[in-house]
Structure 1
Amino acid sequence: MAQTVFEPWEDPDQKPLIQFRNVTKRFGAFTAIDNLSLDIFEREFFALLGPSGCGKTTMMRMLAGFEAVSEGAIYLSGQDIGPVPPNKRAVNMMFQSYALFPHLSIWDNIAFGLKRDRLPKNAIGDRVSEMLKLTRLEKFAHRKPHQISGGQRQRVALARSLAKAPKLLLLDEPLGALDKKLRQDTQFELMDIQEKTGTTFVIVTHDQEEAMTVASRVAVMDEGRLIQVDTPARIYETPTSVYVADFIGDVNIIEGHGTKSGDGYDVTFAEGQPVLHAKTSRDLGSAGKCYLAIRPEKVSISAEKPEGKTNLVKGAILDIAYLGNLSTYHVKLASGQIIKAQTANTRRIARRDLTWEDEVWLSWTETAAVVLES
């Protein structure tokens, strides 16, 4: 049986769980969020991504009720949550510091919110057991936070946040304190837990890799505005601006002058360099300044001149970054432009036939480059 693709944002009949409607947030003369509108759907794992100071944490704090909206409104399940105090919202927030109680056991940390809600003892016991099982912490139930690892403490904070079954869980840089390997492992655990519980997760992060790994959709932000909201694949493969192309992953940006030609554009970019061609359905008008965004893994590198290539440039290897599974070659063209080409190291020993200062040819297909206006 074919699995249904989860894309509620493509279905006009689906009602969003969260709606930001023309939301502005000012701190004195400074505008942190600028007339922002956004829909987030039930069961989504949604990522707010951007550099420090772009407004992503402010958005999260307004959702949690720690900041008031200056203009506009935020709706949760169709209700304006502006007047609703933080403790009355069906929203929970997991902080980067985890904020666990050091004197309480793991069991009591998870039970804390349930006890405050005066739930019956057996209901608390059942729910804590369920959360311990979900986060694979059963054998640590009677330990204190200092007696377990950073990754386990992260899972305790998650279990405590989910114990009250919120409609929405907000995660503020939740994996920032973990080392890279543990962070990668925990990303998959988070995805698994989110899927099992069906809770809507909104995560704030400045780590592009993390957002691209965990999220169903990513909102790339800059200076209080949404630059692009889309699935990770579309943001990577079809960015709508140079900012997004440059912010997500590694990319070559070639600035040039585009002239409409057949099914795309001919792009001149430097004196003495060949005209490049890119297929696109985007219309830049008859001619004008444009940018080509090309991912390094889509650029082929060879010592010999390949035949029959549309986009073919020559340069010298300036630098080589060996990353184990990949090698990235930084190639300087005669114009001074540096283009990166990436190759997979599929053999046991990386090929050493290309080295520093070698003259090489770079090529890519007509569909490899994304044509952008700005």
Structure 2
Amino acid sequence: MSQTVFAPWDDPTQKPLIQFKGVTKRFGDFTAIDNLSLDIFEQEFFALLGPSGCGKTTMMRMLAGFETPTSGTILLSGQDIAPVPPNKRAVNMMFQSYALFPHLSVWDNIAFGLRRGNSSKDEIAQRVEEMLRLTRLEKFSKRKPHQISGGQRQRVALARSLAKAPKLLLLDEPLGALDAKLRQDTQFELMDIQEKTGTTFVIVTHDQEEAMTVASRVAVMDEGRLIQVATPPEIYEAPATVYVADFIGDVNILEGKAHQAGDKVEIAWADGELPIRGTTARTFAPGQTCHFAIRPEKVTISTERPDSANVLRGKVIDIAYLGNLSTYHVRLGNGTMMKAQTANTRRLANRGITWEDDVWLSFTDTAGVLLEH
């Protein structure tokens, strides 16, 4: 049975849950968000990704109602949310610090928001129990926040945020306080909970791996603008610009002059080196400056000269051993450094390439991406 692919952004009949329309936000002379338009759909797990100060938290604060746009509109379910105060929006925000009440039990922390509504005692109890089950906290319901771990506190904050069944949950660097192993486990928990509740999640993060793991789509931001909005595989395999290629994962970027014949391009990138051959759907003017981006795992390293569309000669300067992978830093004839990555399927003693070895790097003509800027 074929599974239907979740891609409402490709369906013109789908109405977005959130629409930013030409939104600009200024703080004095500083433009935090610059004429930004974006659609986010129901049940999406949407990631805003970028370096500190790129505007992602400002976008989130505008959705929550803590900031208002200088110009442009933000619609939630087709309604302009500007006149709606934060506590009346079907939006909840989970803060990086979790902001739990230290004197209240886990149970009472989750019930806090519900008690301020007009639910009956029984309805509140039922909903809290449901949230405890969802976040697997039943055993900890009587404990205070200081009596549970960081990961459990994170889940309490999540349960409290979801208790009032918001249409939209905003997560501001929600895993920032957790160690690496716990972060990974919690990412999958978040995805699981998001799927079970069907709530639209918008997460702000500067951690590219986190965005790539949890999100249905990622918006890569820089200086208040959206550089690319796409699914994680598209962002990784087909970055729109050098900035996106460089921001996501590890990448080699070579600059050169393009000479195109049909969908094949030859890039003259260094004196005395053979041109790199690539494939592209873009059109480059003869001699136009272009950038060739290729991921280290798509570069093969060998001690014998291989038969391949692209072959470069160099010397191993450094090896980063990452357990399952090794990354070789290779200096080419003109001094350019390139990385090649191999999976460590064999034990250490059987690997044939070491420091200072002369090696060949090779890759196919479809392995890299040609970018204009």
Once residues 110 and 263 of structure 2 are traced to their aligned partners in structure 1, the CA distance between those partners, rounded to angstroms, is: 59
Structure 2 equivalent of residue 140 of structure 1: 140
Structure 2 equivalent of residue 329 of structure 1: 328
SS at structure 1 position matched to 2:109: helix
SS at structure 2 position matched to 1:189: helix
Q: Does 1:287 find its partner at 2:295?
A: no
Structure 1 residues 1-374: aligned runs within 5 Å: 1-307=1-307, 309-349=308-348, 351-374=350-373
Once residues 85 and 348 of structure 1 are traced to their aligned partners in structure 2, the CA distance between those partners, rounded to angstroms, is: 61
- Counterpart code for 1:277: R
Once residues 350 and 314 of structure 2 are traced to their aligned partners in structure 1, the CA distance between those partners, rounded to angstroms, is: 19
Once residues 165 and 208 of structure 1 are traced to their aligned partners in structure 2, the CA distance between those partners, rounded to angstroms, is: 28
1:20-51, Cα deviation, whole Å (9 max, x unpaired): 00000000000000000000000000000000
Once residues 350 and 173 of structure 2 are traced to their aligned partners in structure 1, the CA distance between those partners, rounded to angstroms, is: 39
Shift in Å at residue 334 of structure 1? 1.0
SS at structure 2 position matched to 1:153: helix
SS at structure 1 position matched to 2:190: helix
Once residues 263 and 70 of structure 2 are traced to their aligned partners in structure 1, the CA distance between those partners, rounded to angstroms, is: 46
- Counterpart code for 2:53: G
Shift in Å at residue 119 of structure 1? 1.3
SS at structure 2 position matched to 1:270: coil
Kindly, what percent of the aligned residue pairs are identical? 75
Once residues 197 and 293 of structure 2 are traced to their aligned partners in structure 1, the CA distance between those partners, rounded to angstroms, is: 39
- Counterpart code for 1:72: G
Shift in Å at residue 310 of structure 1? 1.3
SS at structure 2 position matched to 1:356: coil
RMSD: 0.8
Aligned residues: 373
Shift in Å at residue 262 of structure 1? 3.4
- Counterpart code for 2:29: A
**TM-score if structure 2 supplies the norm length?**
0.99
Once residues 191 and 283 of structure 1 are traced to their aligned partners in structure 2, the CA distance between those partners, rounded to angstroms, is: 39
Once residues 293 and 355 of structure 1 are traced to their aligned partners in structure 2, the CA distance between those partners, rounded to angstroms, is: 25
Once residues 182 and 263 of structure 2 are traced to their aligned partners in structure 1, the CA distance between those partners, rounded to angstroms, is: 46
Is the contact made by 2:258 and 2:285 (CA closer than 8 Å) also made in structure 1?
no
Shift in Å at residue 352 of structure 1? 3.4
Is the contact made by 2:96 and 2:175 (CA closer than 8 Å) also made in structure 1?
yes
**TM-score if structure 1 supplies the norm length?**
0.99
- Counterpart code for 1:304: E
- Counterpart code for 1:312: V
Once residues 267 and 305 of structure 2 are traced to their aligned partners in structure 1, the CA distance between those partners, rounded to angstroms, is: 21
Once residues 27 and 325 of structure 2 are traced to their aligned partners in structure 1, the CA distance between those partners, rounded to angstroms, is: 45
Once residues 5 and 219 of structure 2 are traced to their aligned partners in structure 1, the CA distance between those partners, rounded to angstroms, is: 20
Shift in Å at residue 355 of structure 1? 1.0
SS at structure 1 position matched to 2:288: strand
Which is worse superposed, 260-269 or 56-65? 260-269
SS at structure 2 position matched to 1:23: strand
SS at structure 1 position matched to 2:244: helix
SS at structure 2 position matched to 1:287: coil
Once residues 348 and 332 of structure 2 are traced to their aligned partners in structure 1, the CA distance between those partners, rounded to angstroms, is: 28
Once residues 38 and 355 of structure 2 are traced to their aligned partners in structure 1, the CA distance between those partners, rounded to angstroms, is: 48
Q: Which ranges of structure 2 fall in alignment gaps of 5 or more residues?
A: none
Shift in Å at residue 350 of structure 1? 5.9
1:29-81, Cα deviation, whole Å (9 max, x unpaired): 00000000000000000000000000000000000000011000000000000
Shift in Å at residue 348 of structure 1? 3.4
Is the contact made by 2:17 and 2:39 (CA closer than 8 Å) also made in structure 1?
yes
1:188-218, Cα deviation, whole Å (9 max, x unpaired): 0000000000000000000000000000000
SS at structure 1 position matched to 2:153: helix
Once residues 351 and 106 of structure 1 are traced to their aligned partners in structure 2, the CA distance between those partners, rounded to angstroms, is: 53
SS at structure 1 position matched to 2:338: strand
